Amino acid sequence: MDNKDNLMEKIVSLCKRRGFIFQSSEIYGGFGSCYDFGPLGVEMKNNIKKSWWDEMTKLHENVVGLDASILMASEVWKASGHLTAGFSDLLVECKTCHKRFKTDEVKEKPPTRASSVGGRCPECGGELTKAQLFNLMMKTFVGPVEEKASSVYLRAETCQGIYVNFLNVLDSMRLKVPFGICQIGKAFRNEITPGNFIYRVREFEQMELQWFCNPKEADKLFNYWKEERLKWYEKLGVKKENLRVVEIPEKERAHYAKRQVDIEYKFPFGWREIEGVHNRGDWDLSNHAKYSGKDLKYFDEVSKEKYFPYIIETSVGVDRIFLMFLIDAYQEIPGGRTKTTESKKEVEIFLKLHQSLAPVKVAILPLVKNKEELVKKAKEVYQSLRPCFICQYDEVGSIGRRYRRQDEIGTLTSVTVDFQTLEDDTATLRNRDTMTQIRVKIPELKEKIQEI
Ligand code: GAP
């Protein structure tokens, strides 16, 4: 495969060309580090979310869902530690070009909070200011008149909505510890160094599970959930050699974590975190109890103990793993897989996405577009399959070129309506991965595709 920059460029280009991802506000020159998911992107993103949701709520016992609001009382963020140093970066500003950098991006002797003496601007070599704390939370206003309105924060992690609903969920669902609450939703961070396409952005989606347990069981359950998460990636076909687990030492952990492991993926730009597994101890519930004045302890009827449950958290960004799935599935085949005369000089792109993630499941292709009966029949097939699968109808270009177009977006199967169809009401069904073609009676297509 190409060098790493080239691969990222190709992924970005594929995303735009085939309707996966567009730059936000592109017609206005683009809005930094925000992206829009196009027609195929939204399908694939929904597939990722559905796979995670089903995994959590259907394949694990005692896990229920929640959809909390993005805006919350500001006290939530005081209690969580996000408005204090726990969620801030130390930054310096260049006095010449006015760009800001994290202190650890300044190569030699970065300035400190006490002194600006030290390294120079990594971009222009200018003098730098003293280091200052910069909070990553985004602020907005609630109320009709800005001056009188109260300022609130866009949530920086979805899990706080779960903690503040701990009692509501516990009581309404008559749950007993251990149990889990999972949630998918938007989070916002004023990242200082966004980049690598959708890897680090300022608006993103998280999928988080908060597992409430007896403190005595926390270590065991931490390992359990770490393994469960790894299994999910492997189930979705992510190459094992591209995944690893890194234990985070105490001084580098998030402010709430007693223990933290990062699940990392080998991106073209290096090994990077895709998911965090945290033992948050009683950090969140005890602080919310303190700030809200509510009793958030749990009474265990069997052991007669009363305690703050410990929280084991699994937290992953949808956008980040969207990029991971694309990179992991991306293949280039010089001359194409079918090696037709037409494709010989071309490099075929083949997106071998897991079947549950592929945005399009079926392509319906009339063999030629200038034969009225064929086109009519293909359109009938398309209409009959549309309610069951995400389908694409395509009649433009040679059949080989159309197969390649579908391979480029990872379409699972293609149904070709040809001259024989008009005689015996069968069509060919092509399997993306094996490229085998079988003839199937049109009324049986739905069942056959479901089997695949
Ligand atoms: N509730 C815990 C928490 O938020 P985190 O390690 O800060 O932990 C968890 O974030 C996951 O959220 C990360 O592993 C990553 O997948 C995703 N994430 C965090 N910041 C992100 C960003 N700026 N852009 C995209 N995804 C991000």
Q: 18 pLDDT band (50/70/90 cuts)? A: very high
Answer left, alpha or beta for residue 261, where phi above 0 means left and psi between -120 and 50 means alpha: beta
User: Average pLDDT, stretch 290-297?
Assistant: 98
Nearest to 226 by CA among 242, 204, 206, 211: 211
Q: 116 pLDDT band (50/70/90 cuts)? A: confident
Ligand 1 near 203 CB (within 6 A): no
Q: 256 pLDDT band (50/70/90 cuts)? A: very high
Please, which residues have CB within 8 angstroms of residue 52's CB and are 6 or more apart in sequence?
Answer: 184, 207, 232, 316
**CA of residue 204 to ligand 1 center, whole Å:** 8
Cβ atoms 432, 413 nearer than 8 A: yes
pLDDT per position as a tens digit, 135-193:
889 999 998 776 666 889 999 999 999 999 999 999 999 999 999 999 999 999 998 87
pLDDT per position as a tens digit, 203-224:
999 999 999 999 999 999 999 9
What pLDDT sits at residue 385?
Answer: 98
What pLDDT sits at residue 3?
Answer: 62
- Work out the burial of residue 109: count CB atoms within 10 Å of its CB; fewer than 13 is exposed, 13-18 middle, 19 or more buried: exposed
Cβ atoms 319, 204 nearer than 8 A: yes
Average pLDDT over the chain reads 94
β-sheet bridge partners, residue 64: 181
**CA of residue 284 to ligand 1 center, whole Å:** 17
Q: Of 164, 246, 320, which is best to mutate to test ligand 1, by the most ligand atoms within 8 angstroms of its C-beta? A: 320
**CA of residue 351 to ligand 1 center, whole Å:** 26
Ligand 1 near 221 CB (within 6 A): no
Specify the residue with its C-alpha closest to ligand 1, atom 21.
200
Ligand 1 near 103 CB (within 6 A): no
Ligand 1 near 315 CB (within 6 A): yes
Report which ligand 1 atom has the smallest distance to the Cα of 278. 2
**CA of residue 124 to ligand 1 center, whole Å:** 30
Q: Of 45, 76, 157, which is best to mutate to test ligand 1, by the most ligand atoms within 8 angstroms of its C-beta? A: 157
Instruction: Please give the Cα distance from 197 to 33 (Å, whole number).
Output: 8
pLDDT per position as a tens digit, 337-366:
876 666 677 899 999 999 999 999 999 999
What pLDDT sits at residue 95?
Answer: 86
- Work out the burial of residue 333: count CB atoms within 10 Å of its CB; fewer than 13 is exposed, 13-18 middle, 19 or more buried: middle
Residue 231 has pLDDT above 60, yes or no: yes
pLDDT per position as a tens digit, 45-65:
999 999 999 999 999 999 999
Sign of the torsion formed by the C-alpha atoms of 417, 419, 420 and 424: positive
Ligand 1 near 33 CB (within 6 A): no
Residue 296 has pLDDT above 60, yes or no: yes
Sign of the torsion formed by the C-alpha atoms of 66, 68, 233 and 409: positive
Ligand 1 near 319 CB (within 6 A): yes
In this prediction the pTM is: 0.93
β-sheet bridge partners, residue 267: 270
Ligand 1 near 189 CB (within 6 A): yes
